[in-house]
Amino acid sequence: MRVILLHQYYKTPEEGGGIRSWYLCRALTEAGHEVEVVTAWNKKEHKTLLIDGYPVHYLSVHYSNDLGFFRRIRSFTAFFIAAYKKVNSLSRPDFIYAISTPLSIGGLAKWIRWRKSIPYFFEVGDLWPDVPAQMGYLRNPLLIRILKSLELSIYKSAKGIVAMSPAMVDYFNDLGYGSKTTCVTNFSDLSLSSTPSHEREPTDRFTVAYVGTLGKANHLSYLIDLAEEAQKRGLKNFRCILMGEGAEEPLLKKMIAEKGLSNVSLLPHSSKEAAISVLKSASMAYLSFGPYDKLWTGSPNKYFDALAIGKPILCNFGGWIGDEITDKKCGVVYSPFNPQSFFDKHWPSLQTEDILESMGQNALTLAKGSYTLAKQIPKWLTFLCR
């Protein structure tokens, strides 16, 4: 089987960030299939690199989380054009595997199907255009209707849909596409447990660590609010770590300075290994989304990484993940609009080492029972080959 994988944000473990497509390509090659990746990077030239035995075609298309809406659209359009030209130059695949976001990736796969009769699978990580519309990036009703029509046409034309969460499966069932949809979440890679800790924290210090994008969607001012409340209460053992990069980084730095917070550390984006090291050193891993319930249907890799290393989770949103954390007793879900409630309700019990240890064990049990590569990848490969 020969596959061309389209993903504008393909990353390797050395680069850090979400490396789901790296896992998928590795799984295809280990299963004896041929795969090529078409992706983008911020360098000034196109280049093809051999990574783990398969070619990755890097196209010179600039993108970063701090781009405004129209510059993002320009980036998506540039990748659409460049990627189509690249696919045309490659040997014909059995199918295209297109990974969203953005929605234009699905549009590209649909265009290739129409022009070259190549079927495609579409993997959905976020619900577009629902998410940008709810966040206020899309306001024009006509444009929203046009994009919604495109979204539905992409689902209709796809050979199969890979939904990255149970909530998304419900969404596709409601649309009538349940028969060609499967759920393959992000992965809990148990080998991450061998990663050494970033630093040895004092035994009397309680550390909450967030590792990932510092974007509007993540609304990390919620974590700053927790740090501020802790400092007001004189809790000298409470510390927050934020590791990453994104559009909100300047705002977060400004908030930390203006509030005079000495209990927050802001670390730069780094490799996957470095990110896991920071998580391992913490008392709890922090999951954060803004008040946009469409985002809560997603499958953030930081959730599955925390489960893989048996780390208790502090979560500030609901949805299927919030429900699962509560049900499986692997962390705490609190209201970010009332940071006082976290310290009044949860802080005393979290000072007990047995509680954190129990939550961590429950997290690891959940990872092993549901989200390991050994459980998710065979299901994915079977779906592709059906």
Residue type, 38: V
197 shares a domain with 140: no
211 shares a domain with 161: no
Residue 143 counted as domain residue? yes
> What letter does residue 369 receive in the DSSP assignment?
I
211 shares a domain with 175: no
Average pLDDT over residues 161-168: 97
Q: Which residues lie below 8 Å from residue 341, measured CB to CB, with a gap of 6+? A: 334, 335
Q: Final residue of a domain: which of 184, 206, 236?
A: 184
Backbone angles phi, psi at 123, to 5 degrees: -100, 130
pLDDT at res. 200 = 57
Residue 382 counted as domain residue? no
366 shares a domain with 261: yes
Residue 127 counted as domain residue? yes
Q: Final residue of a domain: which of 184, 208, 237?
A: 184
138 shares a domain with 29: yes
Tell me the two tokens of residue 238: 């409470």
Share of the chain above pLDDT 70, in %: 97
pTM greater than 0.85: yes
pLDDT at res. 67 = 67
27 shares a domain with 115: yes
CA–CA separation, 318 vs 324, rounded Å?
9
Q: Are 283 and 311 in contact (CB under 8 A)?
A: no
Residue 207 counted as domain residue? yes
Residue 178 counted as domain residue? yes
Residue 70 counted as domain residue? yes
Average pLDDT over residues 275-281: 93
246 shares a domain with 156: no
Q: Final residue of a domain: which of 150, 184, 218?
A: 184
pLDDT at res. 284 = 97
- Band (64; pLDDT cuts 50, 70, 90): confident
Residue ranges making up the domain that contains 97: 2-184
264 shares a domain with 164: no
Residue 375 counted as domain residue? no
User: How many distinct structural domains can be found in the chain?
Assistant: 2
pLDDT at res. 102 = 82
47 shares a domain with 141: yes
Average pLDDT over residues 158-167: 97
pLDDT at res. 10 = 94
The strand ranges marked E within 164-267 are 181-183, 206-211, 238-243, 264-267
90 shares a domain with 21: yes
pLDDT at res. 101 = 80
Residue 109 has pLDDT above 60, yes or no: yes
206 shares a domain with 294: yes
Residue 379 counted as domain residue? no
26 shares a domain with 146: yes
User: CATH code at 94?
Assistant: 3.40.50.2000
